[in-house]
Structure 1
Amino acid sequence: MNNFDPNQREIIVDGGLNKFLAKMYGFMAGAVAVSALVAYLATAVFQTQFMTFFAMNRWALWGLFILQIVLVFGMSFKADRSPVATATMLFIYAALEGIFFGILVQAYTAQNITMAFVAAAADFVVLAFLGTNTKKDLSGIGRQAMAALIALIVVSVINLFLGSTVIQFFFSFIGVLIFSVLTAWDSQRFKQMYLQYGNSLNPTNLALMGALQLYLDFINLFIQLLNIFTGLNGRD
């Protein structure tokens, strides 16, 4: 006699999914916290040493940038490695990003930084919630957002030579839209990946990979909003 209750299986699946999502968003929040801490230390505690080092070692920033790229690809293309190794790469990446933010935020006022962070956090929470809970398939609009992101990167590279603040300001609004869509899509995508591959992959490792994607979405949201608020309020 089979006494298996299908509702019991649904509870088990939902419980596992909730744990997975809690891990993914927890790792992502931890990575943001690491970046914020490193940026604070670089600008408020060790600013003199920080600026002196990079003034004397101009190629160091390029080395850190290349290392970031290596870490992102390393995390993305090997889903079966040890979660400890993946977590180490995630938080090293976040620390390196904090160094770049330590340089970036010096060009902006504390008010604009605070406004951009609060707005990015609110936007991220809403879009992540919608992406996780919506029944609508976001893969189509997600791929369109990825295509738009490539175009935005190309325009941004061209604008490095033009130096137009008007172009940068205008495309920051487009950037907010792109990364908002990507936040919702990535949230849904990794939820679906867990439901499909959760039994064959380490859930913690998958959560760390999702945390990286969501971290990148959040950081880019913050940067685009910082450009917008700075354009509206003016620089320091």
Structure 2
Amino acid sequence: MAEFDTVRSVGVGARAQIDEGLRAHMNKVYGLMSVAMVVTAGVAWAVGSSDALLAIFRDPLTLRPNILGWVVMFAPIAMVFAFGALLNRMSAAAAQVFFYAFAAVMGLSLAWIFKVFTGVSIAQTFLITAISFAGLSLYGYVTKRDLSGMGTFLMMGLIGLLVAMVVNIFLASSALAFAISVIGVLIFAGLTAYDTHTCSTPCKATLNGWRSLPSWGR
């Protein structure tokens, strides 16, 4: 009987440790994302509020992006694919530095919005985006569905979306721009749920392994 109680207490303790580990892991992920978001917002605001800094990235006659402006605009996309390819060969510190560099470059690419939209519009859009992200991330965290098959499909959709965006730079089609916006929302909604599910899956798999044990082994 004493051995039974010992085994059971070990199992309960292990499940508690796994639950705590999952919470700590997700808290760290969202903490890093929050810091990166502050970096992006800070860089975007600093550059967008300075005509001198914005002038570096656009032609003085046409006010359209110059070569450096186009590089900054597409740099975040290139960095996403580079990060995915190099992640397994990076140390944790190097990956974190790369991530914050990406956040800063993303801020550069978004700086122009402060010249086009009002502060109220930007704040409203941010609030809607944050609420949507929270809901989709929560779904990815709690769902029991296997979302692993969505990854390849969503990445293919993202590549197609990027190609369409480049083409529309030259076509300037309002209908295509609207379609890109709608499809983009759907793709990034799927990626939010998929990535959250992927982040939490290893800990959940361990926890489910303990739960699948017979009651006498817990």
TM-score interval w.r.t. the shorter chain? 0.7 to 0.9
**Separation (CA, whole Å) in 1 of partners of 2:92 and 2:144:** 30
Q: With structure 2 as the length reference, what TM-score do the two structures score?
A: 0.77
1:30 aligns with 2:38: no
Output one character per residue of 1:159-189: Cα deviation in whole Å (capped at 9) or x when no partner. 1111012221233122111111110011001
2:169 to 160, 167, 171: 160
- Give how far 1:27 is off: 0.6
CA offset digits 1:26-78 (Å, max 9, x no partner)? 1111111111011111122xx13202333479433355467642475146523
- Cα distance in 2 between the residues matched to 1:161 and 1:26: 39
Instruction: Say which one has the larger Rg.
Output: 2
Q: Is the CA contact 1:42–1:50 (under 8 Å) kept in the aligned structure 2?
A: yes
Question: Aligned residue for 2:68?
Answer: 60
Q: CA deviation at 1:150?
A: 2.7
Superposed displacement of residue 8, structure 1: 1.0
d(CA) in 1 for partners of 2:139, 2:24: 18
Q: 1:80 to 1:162 in 2, by over 3 A?
A: closer
Match of 1:39 among 39, 44, 61: 44
Deviates more, 1:180-189 or 1:137-146: 137-146
- What do residues 102-151 of structure 1 show as CA deviations (whole Å, max 9, x unaligned)? 12442223333222211110100000011011111112344433333233
Coordinate RMSD, CA, aligned: 2.7
In structure 2, the residue matched to 1:214 is none
Residues 71, 120 of structure 1: CA spacing in aligned structure 2 closer, same or farther, 3 A cutoff? closer
Q: 2:185 aligns with which of 157, 176, 184?
A: 176
Distance 1:82 1:144, change over 3 A: closer
Distance 2:89 2:14 in 1: 26
Query: Match of 2:57, SS?
Result: helix
TM-score, with length taken from structure 1 = 0.72
How many residues are treated as equivalent by the alignment? 195
**Structure 1 gaps, min length 5:** 198-236
- Do the aligned partners of residues 196 and 82 (structure 1) sit closer, same or farther apart at CA in structure 2, a change above 3 Å counting? farther
